[in-house]
Chains A and B, each alone.
Chain A
């Protein structure tokens, strides 16, 4: 969570006491492997954060998605193909006494989809940094084509745009010296081409290109509480998100995680996430007609159906000191995250593995 991360920076800065004159930062290298029934994703990424002057910090990332899919909704014609997506992102945050202000940008490009997003955020501490309010505003512009269509999936050239706006308000409260909680409300509005240019719905009149509304308003309310147990050096994290939109999708997402320190250099963790959603008002597994007067909207999108899912997560992390390294390499952190996603719809189950290395640096 951006707001939580900024609040975390504020807490960390408040805890760090007098800072030395040098600047510092960290760079993270991460590789992700994702596999589901018809799709495989390999994503190497680099994240960097570093001080900029006495009061600023810069976050930046670059990643490549290598997506191999035989799914019709990704443009394939029952033959696996690989597509690459490139994403660049950067943000700057400036600290002003009890406030932090900043801006962020993100650019993503792939053969059939280009996206540009920009935003600004402001955050202020109150009551000796026991309470923090954060506001993020942003807007994006996407260009969608069906340049990846293969064989029978070709339904004529599509070149459409999608505009999105995001407003997010978050409040974080220190509840005790071992407890912190935050709530977030995100309002997102999208208008333009919201369909998948490769997806078709099944009707008695045959396969028909997906038709969905050209606007969508989404509301997400999230709450998270983190509790540290000093006696066992355990952190318990509980969260819940309520989501509703004007397409008729209502979702509940509770999640529990635990992080256990094993000495000063090793950490293990486990998590469970439950997901439940209702279907969109216009979703049907099968449409009797494609007549737009009777069925203005048609979709075969599994994520617009009613379904439930569970995600199980395990993680382990070690610092370089565990391996006998010293200096900044001693503070480097290697991490392994493994996830198994159970989803009761046509997407089916998925497995995810992350391997990461975060190295601090000073300059």
Chain B
């Protein structure tokens, strides 16, 4: 069990998410348009005519 006062390193930006929401969204959009696989991010894919 890791106590709250031991989580300093876990709160670093690189440990929380090294990609911002805009970068992550574009990446999912880009791979969804070029690859047969999609998902695994908890976010909806598709939503455009890039199929």
Contact = CB atoms under 8 A, between A and B. Distances in A.
Nearest to A31: B22
* Residue in B2, B24, B34, B36 whose Cβ sees the most chain A Cβ within 10 Å: B36
Contacts of B21: 5, 28, 47, 49, 59, 61
A119 to B, nearest CB: 7
A140 B46 contact: yes
Interface stretch (A95-103, A104-112, A200-208, A287-295): A104-112
Interface in B32-51: 33-51
Contacts of B6: 177
A277 B7 contact: no
B6 to A, nearest CB: 4
A228 B9 contact: yes
B36 A280 contact: yes
B39 A11 contact: no
Given A128-B4, A177-B10, A178-B9, A12 B18 contact: no
Contact of B36 (A61, A85, A277): A277
Contacts of B17: 1, 4-5, 8
Given A14-B7, A177-B7, A108 B48 contact: yes
B40 A184 contact: yes
A138 interface: yes
Contact of B2 (A67, A134, A177, A194): A177
Contacts of B1: 127-128, 130
B16 A110 contact: no
A208 B46 CA distance: 25
Interface in A198-247: 218-222, 226, 228, 230, 235, 237, 241, 243, 245, 247
Interface of A: 1-5, 8, 11-12, 14-15, 28, 30, 32, 34, 43, 45, 47, 49, 59, 61, 63, 65, 67, 74, 85, 87, 106, 108, 110, 112-113, 115, 117, 119, 127-130, 134, 136, 138, 140, 142, 144, 148, 162, 164, 166, 168, 170, 174, 176-178, 180, 184, 186, 188, 190, 194-196, 218-222, 226, 228, 230, 235, 237, 241, 243, 245, 247, 249, 251, 253, 257, 259, 261, 267, 269, 275, 277, 279-280, 301-304, 309, 335, 337, 341, 343, 347, 350, 352, 354, 356, 358
- The 5 A-B pairs with the shortest beta carbon distances in the complex, nearest first, are A220-B39, A113-B49, A222-B40, A8-B16, A251-B37
A85 B30 CA distance: 14
A235 B12 contact: yes
Contacts of B43: 1-2
Contacts, number: 211
A280 B18 CA distance: 33
B21 to A, nearest CB: 5
Contacts of A180: 10, 15
A142 B46 contact: yes
Given A15-B11, A303-B34, A188 B39 contact: yes
A138 B10 contact: no
B9 A11 contact: no
A39 to B, nearest CB: 9
Contacts of A8: 16-17
Contacts of A249: 36-37
